[in-house]
Structure 1
């Protein structure tokens, strides 16, 4: 039997709701119900930093990222002097360039997981020290064979700077601010191969070819001092561990199980190949085929680099309005179209020099949209293995570019057509790779393996713990505020109650 009462029930007090964290183990919600991405903490937002600090980060990381390009390209004007003084053939001199790029690619694959394990500063300082010693030994090289071996060592040293500069961006910053900083670094990385030979030519007018390697030693030593003074350790102590080679190699296997990452790595390599095709063939195209003087060629060559800079600057301005993936697709599509126009202008000669330059400028601008975004997307997917991911990106860029640089001389075309075919072909391959490997797989979260999975789980557990602590703090604040409201209401009721009046029946007492 249910007993009911005729007494009126007291009115229900309004209850307060406290936001609670969403567990990552819960079932996935439909796409339409997914919450918006969490705001980036101010300390991890690059755009929230003061202008002076932003400039300092760009200069320091940009100088580290550009060291590889200067190591590879600064001595290119000295090739004739190397042939005559060391009694070497042209192919032997070219091998010193190939050896450097091989050293850079191999060093990146080692430094990436090493810096993930032990931190960024120590591998970076050791790498810069190796670069200083190797550069000074190159300046003393007695033969082309010794120089070739030392250039491999020099490439190993400079690889640390290139990899760790990219990894530090992901360690310190996230979101659109990280994409903007990445775009600034890509400006420097993309422009350095274009202007390093010009700087080397100026230095060669002032010094012997051995002085170029002394200049590289001074540059890397200065960077080592700057890193020691200005760059903090960016890998948290809880993420560091003892470095072991076999797990590091397994980590690369785990990364390569991600089809989206494979696509992004290949896209980065193809875009760099297009730039190296331009660097390797432009002098023959403009000076031999179009008859430009050395001064006129330098001006035309610089305009190509300027359009690349413009593309990366425009990309940096657009990342706050459009996604990195959207900008990547735009750059690849525009580059494929302008590359075909470049081939048409080079083969037909329509429009003369201007008919070649206009599609060339459009192509370089499009590459400026592609280069910053593929590293950003790759590092976002594998944040806990940022060093190894940056190593794969750098090794791909240098490895593929090393194959593309001498390709123009073997093609049975005029120099301008060879340049156009290499640039257009690289961008078309990059577009196909994106459509096949990347477009659909980027929408799916990566499946992490091994040590990367363990670190990601630890980072996620720490994030959930912080959310739970924040929810508990908000709940406590809500209870305190509710009790305060009750006390204030009770005080007002006591003041309004007439003296000697009886209380009405209620459940509050």
Structure 2
């Protein structure tokens, strides 16, 4: 009889199932944002409570990654994926039936926690099942979906709202939750053998998080990813205000701009999948960051010129620069995810939790900044984005090579050890 680990390794997860499990949550982030006024009136609640339903989900999806990724290193992947899918389904149904605003906020938080579990544990499954080069390709696919989801969700939600109301949309998410359960049952076998599990108690989970948190080889990738995501979410949170206020474009025109930029990011993510095995994630991260940083600085130059010349810079120029910036993220985010997972390979669920959860928290924190500091000109948004991307370039330049001594998480039992972050940083 073959070893248990070989049996587990032979069971390859379905890529389609992984896409479903990790992608439904991000799409649920702000798919109903256009219905917030109607939601507020329907539930007879305040605007602040209606907005809090969105914030609660974002906090939940970040906290869910941080909470359940480490648990999966101790208990295995499949049970958590199945439980997360089931809870997401139930929470979505309760959202559709919510009688008051506070109840909807609570259910959105629960829904986000369950979705976050799917994201973190799904990434860990990839590391379990595939060698590094092939895993990087799949990390690219999953990371792109995670961060493209909030970008595309308003359009998808708008299509549903055209034939129903906000409760209809949560009904659709309930159906997607059922699909998550079926995808887990049929396409996601257990990928972490029992002999590689390291205890599921709070002390063991905390030890794994502390181990990676003290590992500079790993945390340098996480910090860089957080700064890059902050720059990207500045665009998500501010571009609609800036383009509609400064240029006076309509909502439909802005939707076109947003869709074109999202398509550029999707194309870049596809290119990442085909190129990563040949050139490596570090080179693609450098390429993506260089493009985004150059575009952000170009926008800053346009904003400064706006102060010196009458009228704003030409919209086609600003649009092209925004498209380049977003396309660069299609290379940077998947590459950063792959490099962080490689550096934290000894505790894959914990690595996915820290890298994904902290990046989502960073994005959520900066999303309202443009609205706070102003959007009557291009300068505030361009300045924020330039600051984040220049900081990311400085962090990348200061990134050190990995330590030559392999690090092993507390209680590790794996027979083969990897140098954390090996071959992550270009020479």
Give the TM-score normalised by structure 1: 0.75
- Correspondence list, 1:101-500, <5 A: 101-349=58-306, 351-414=313-376, 416-436=378-398, 439-442=399-402, 444=404, 447-451=407-411, 454-456=412-414, 458-460=415-417
Give the Å deviation of 1:59.
2.4
Give the Å deviation of 1:446.
5.2
Provide the rounded CA distance (Å) in 2 between the counterparts of 1:87 and 1:425.
Answer: 41
Give the Å deviation of 1:332.
2.0
Q: 1:314 to 1:44 in 2, by over 3 A?
A: farther
Structure with more relative contact order (C-alpha pairs < 8 Å, separation 6 or more): 2
Q: 1:412 to 1:230 in 2, by over 3 A?
A: closer
Provide the rounded CA distance (Å) in 2 between the counterparts of 1:274 and 1:57.
Answer: 33
Give the Å deviation of 1:207.
1.1
- Correspondence list, 1:20-39, <5 A: none
Give the Å deviation of 1:140.
1.6
Provide the rounded CA distance (Å) in 2 between the counterparts of 1:89 and 1:275.
Answer: 30
C-alpha contact (below 8 Å) 1:125/1:227 kept by paired residues: yes
Q: 1:94 to 1:342 in 2, by over 3 A?
A: same
C-alpha contact (below 8 Å) 2:303/2:313 kept by paired residues: no
Gaps of 5+ in 1: 1-40, 46-52, 462-509
Over residues 397-426 of structure 1, what are the superposed CA-to-partner deviations in whole Å (9 max), with x where a residue is unaligned?
211111011111111342643333333332
The more displaced of 58-67 and 118-127 is 58-67
Gaps of 5+ in 2: 1-5, 307-311, 419-427
Give the Å deviation of 1:242.
4.0
Aligned length: 407
Aligned to 1:14: none
- Correspondence list, 1:46-61, <5 A: 57-61=14-18
Q: 1:209 to 1:330 in 2, by over 3 A?
A: same
Aligned to 1:69: 26
C-alpha contact (below 8 Å) 2:140/2:337 kept by paired residues: no
Aligned to 1:505: none
C-alpha contact (below 8 Å) 1:272/1:401 kept by paired residues: yes
Give the Å deviation of 1:178.
1.7
Larger radius of gyration: 1
Give the Å deviation of 1:77.
1.2
Provide the rounded CA distance (Å) in 2 between the counterparts of 1:313 and 1:159.
Answer: 24
**Which aligned runs of 4 or more in structure 1 are off by greater than 6 angstroms?**
none
C-alpha contact (below 8 Å) 1:167/1:387 kept by paired residues: yes
